[in-house]
A and B are shown apart, each in its own frame.
Chain A
Amino acid sequence: MSLFRADNLAIHFGGIKAVDGVSFEVHKGEVFTLVGPNGAGKTTIFNLISRIYDPTHGTLHFDGHEITEVPPHVIAKLGIARTFQNIELFEHASVLQNLLIGRHAHRKSHFLGELFFTKATRAMERAHREKAEEIIELLDLAHYREQMIANLPYGVRKVVEVARALCTEPKLLLLDEPASGLNVEETEDMAFWIDDIKNDLGVTIIMVEHDMSLVSEVSDRVLALNDGRMLSMGTPSEVQSDPEVIRAYLGGDA
Chain B
Amino acid sequence: MRILFKTSYNDDIRLMKHGGYLFWYGLLLIAAFSAPLLLDDFYIGELAQVVIFAIAGLGLMVLVGFSGQVSLGHAAFLAIGAYTNALLIQAGTPFLIAFPVAGVVTALSGALISLPANRMTGLYLAIATLAFAIIVEQILVRWESVTGGFQGVAVDAPDLFGHQLWNPWELYLLCLVVLILVILGVLNILRSPTGRAMVAIRDSEVSAQSMGVNIAKYKTIAFSISAGITGLAGALMGHKFNYLSPDTFNIIISVQLLLMVVVGGLGSVHGAIYGAIFVGALPQILALARDVLPPAVAQTAGLEPGIFGLIMVLFILFEPLGLYGRWRKIKLYFDIFPLYRKATFKRQKAYLKTERMK
A residues with a Cβ closer than 8 A to B are 50, 52, 71-77, 81-82, 84, 88-93, 96-97, 100-105, 107, 109, 111, 114-117, 121-122, 125-126, 128-130, 150-151, 153-154, 164, 168, 181
Query: Known interface pairs A73-B213, A81-B210, A154-B351. Does A129 touch B200 (Cβ–Cβ under 8 Å)?
Result: no
Cβ–Cβ < 8 Å partners of A130 in chain B:
9
Could you give, for residues 50-63 of chain B, a 1 whenever the CB lies within 8 Å of some chain A CB and a 0 otherwise?
A: 00000000000000
Complex Cα distance A116/B197, Å? 18
Complex contact A92–B210 (CB within 8 A): no
Query: Known interface pairs A90-B203, A115-B188. Does A73 touch B348 (Cβ–Cβ under 8 Å)?
Result: no
User: Which of A103, A109, A117, A164 is most buried by chain B, counting CB atoms within 10 A of its CB?
Assistant: A117
Could you give, for residues 157-178 of chain B, a 1 whenever the CB lies within 8 Å of some chain A CB and a 0 otherwise?
A: 0000000000000000000000
Cβ–Cβ < 8 Å partners of A116 in chain B:
185, 188
B residues with a Cβ closer than 8 A to A are 9-10, 12-13, 185, 188-189, 191-197, 199-200, 203-204, 206-215, 221, 267, 347-348, 351-352
Complex contact B196–A97 (CB within 8 A): yes
Query: Can you list 10 pairs linking A and B with CB atoms under 8 Å apart?
Result: A73-B214, A88-B204, A90-B200, A92-B199, A101-B197, A101-B200, A104-B200, A115-B189, A128-B193, A164-B211
Complex Cα distance A76/B200, Å? 15
Complex Cα distance A50/B212, Å? 10
Complex contact A89–B207 (CB within 8 A): yes
Complex contact A125–B13 (CB within 8 A): yes
Complex contact B210–A72 (CB within 8 A): yes
**Cβ-defined partner of A93 (8 Å) among B189, B191, B199, B213:** B199
**Cβ-defined partner of B196 (8 Å) among A52, A91, A104:** A104
**Cβ-defined partner of A82 (8 Å) among B189, B210, B348:** B210
Complex contact A109–B188 (CB within 8 A): no
Complex Cα distance A212/B170, Å? 73
Complex Cα distance A112/B212, Å? 20
Query: Known interface pairs A101-B196, A126-B13, A129-B9. Does A52 touch B213 (Cβ–Cβ under 8 Å)?
Result: no
Complex contact A50–B210 (CB within 8 A): yes
Cβ–Cβ < 8 Å partners of B197 in chain A:
101, 104
Cβ–Cβ < 8 Å partners of B185 in chain A:
115-116
Complex Cα distance A222/B111, Å? 48
Complex contact B212–A89 (CB within 8 A): no
Cβ–Cβ < 8 Å partners of B351 in chain A:
153-154
Complex contact B12–A73 (CB within 8 A): no
Cβ–Cβ < 8 Å partners of B188 in chain A:
114-117
Query: Known interface pairs A111-B221, A126-B9. Does A84 touch B207 (Cβ–Cβ under 8 Å)?
Result: yes
**Cβ-defined partner of A104 (8 Å) among B191, B213, B267:** B213
Complex Cα distance A154/B204, Å? 17
Q: Determine the residue in chain B with the shortest Cβ distance to A71.
A: B214
The 3 closest A-B pairs by CB, nearest first: A76-B212, A105-B212, A88-B207
Say how far B15's CB is from chain A's closest CB, in angstroms: 9
Cβ–Cβ < 8 Å partners of B214 in chain A:
71, 73
Complex contact A88–B206 (CB within 8 A): yes
Q: Determine the residue in chain B with the shortest Cβ distance to A52.
A: B206
Complex Cα distance A56/B272, Å? 47
Complex contact A125–B212 (CB within 8 A): no
Complex contact A125–B210 (CB within 8 A): no
